[in-house]
Homo-oligomer: A and B are copies of this chain.
Amino acid sequence: MHPRIYQALASPIVGHLDPYFFEVMDDTKDLLRQTFRTKNEITFPIAGTGMAGMEAAICNVVEEGDEVVVCVNGLFGARMSDIAHRNGGKVTEIKRTWGESISPADVKEALSRCRKPKAVALVHAETSTGVLQPLSEISKIAHDFGALLIADTVTSLGGCELDIDRMGIDVAFSGSQKCLNCPPGLSPMTTNEKTMAAIRNRKTRVRSWYFDIAEIEKYWSQGRAYHHTGPISMVYALREALRIVQEEGLENRWTRHRKNCEALVRGLESMGLTMLVKDAQERLPSLTAVRVPESIADTTLRGALLNQFNIEIGGGLGELKGHILRIGLMGLNSSRKNIVLVLDALEKVLNDQGHAVKR
């Protein structure tokens, strides 16, 4: 976390209906719109983690009997499918091997099998595999079929190109703790007017009270009606994080993440390691998934990195458990210094484990 974010987090707390906090809320909404690149009025953080944003996105759009196409090429796609099911959706899953992206043709084919598809849900930045999903063409196809596009942007917001309005994303949710460098616990979200109209036209009420976006909006808009108690300290932190993003400039930040990711990959490949995502264009700049050499347990590798070098690296999730390392270079931590640090440590640990690697 950036020192300024620690400081914001520990700033003196006020009430959630305090006029000062309303200013903080308005700042946060403006900064979020700039960071999401959207004009959407409904743009604010959900009071929960990224998964809360996922549930909010889906439970507001999907009601009993709605047809939904969900792209499943990693853990988070699978979760969106689960949530759509729990909300009574008739789900068509597009399944692809973890580590591959979803093609526009796949989406078109799935949509053409629906009678009246309500939404396509996919993951822009699949944190479980390191895949960056191309979106623009899929967005166009979804709209041609009259479906809304819901995108998980947890690991892309502030870390790689994301332009909600230009890309035609109707609903997006993110997480505070990835490329924004906040603590986990908030899920920035944005929803356009077309989606709000669809929500207002629901036949049944949203199954969740806590995530009912029309109710949350009453607190985050000028009405200031009490819905939940705004998570003050976390919103302070998020505002500061978004200011830091704007100070650097969004495009500068995207470029930095991309260049640093490329440098990391070059270093890993020079040690003979293999990336999970084959196509360099589809590699997430903020998270690099690298295959664990077969003869080493990933827990040994990650344990040594943590205990000897104080470097915390994610392991594989779901079907990739044990098979990959997920190296995050997010926000402040996407730096040349960190790349050298992790490559040196990895080289040392692999050599200790009997792998004669050398960069």
By a beta-carbon cutoff of 8 Å, the part of chain A in contact with chain B is 1, 6-7, 9-10, 13-19, 47-52, 54-55, 59, 79, 82-83, 85-87, 175, 177, 183-185, 205-211, 226-234, 237, 306, 312, 314, 317
Q: List 7 A-B contacts (CB under 8 A).
A: A9-B10, A47-B185, A48-B228, A54-B210, A55-B210, A86-B207, A233-B234
Asked whether A210 and B51 contact (CB < 8 A) given A229-B177, A229-B184, the answer is yes
How far in angstroms is the closest Cβ of chain B from A63?
12
Across-interface contacts of A226 in B (CB, < 8 A): 317
Which of A17, A82, A228, A306 has the largest number of chain B CB atoms within 10 A? A228
A205/B86 in contact, CB under 8 A: yes
Alpha-carbon distance A7/B205, docked complex (angstroms): 42
A13/B312 in contact, CB under 8 A: no
A207/B209 in contact, CB under 8 A: no
Asked whether A83 and B49 contact (CB < 8 A) given A175-B229, A184-B230, A231-B183, the answer is no
Across-interface contacts of A15 in B (CB, < 8 A): 312, 314
Asked whether A185 and B184 contact (CB < 8 A) given A82-B209, A209-B79, the answer is no
B86/A208 in contact, CB under 8 A: yes
Task: List 9 A-B pairs, minimum CB-CB distance, nearest first.
Answer: A185-B231, A183-B233, A10-B10, A184-B229, A51-B228, A55-B210, A49-B228, A48-B48, A15-B312
Across-interface contacts of A6 in B (CB, < 8 A): 10
Across-interface contacts of A51 in B (CB, < 8 A): 209-210, 227-229
Across-interface contacts of A82 in B (CB, < 8 A): 209
B210/A52 in contact, CB under 8 A: yes
A184/B16 in contact, CB under 8 A: yes
How far in angstroms is the closest Cβ of chain B from A187?
10
Which of A6, A13, A231, A233 has the largest number of chain B CB atoms within 10 A? A233
Across-interface contacts of A86 in B (CB, < 8 A): 205-209
B184/A232 in contact, CB under 8 A: yes
How far in angstroms is the closest Cβ of chain B from A196?
19
Across-interface contacts of A16 in B (CB, < 8 A): 184
Closest to A302 in B: B17
A209/B177 in contact, CB under 8 A: no
Which of A10, A79, A312 has the largest number of chain B CB atoms within 10 A? A10
Across-interface contacts of A207 in B (CB, < 8 A): 86-87, 207-208
Alpha-carbon distance A70/B191, docked complex (angstroms): 33
How far in angstroms is the closest Cβ of chain B from A58?
9
How far in angstroms is the closest Cβ of chain B from A145?
26
A312/B233 in contact, CB under 8 A: no
Alpha-carbon distance A13/B237, docked complex (angstroms): 13
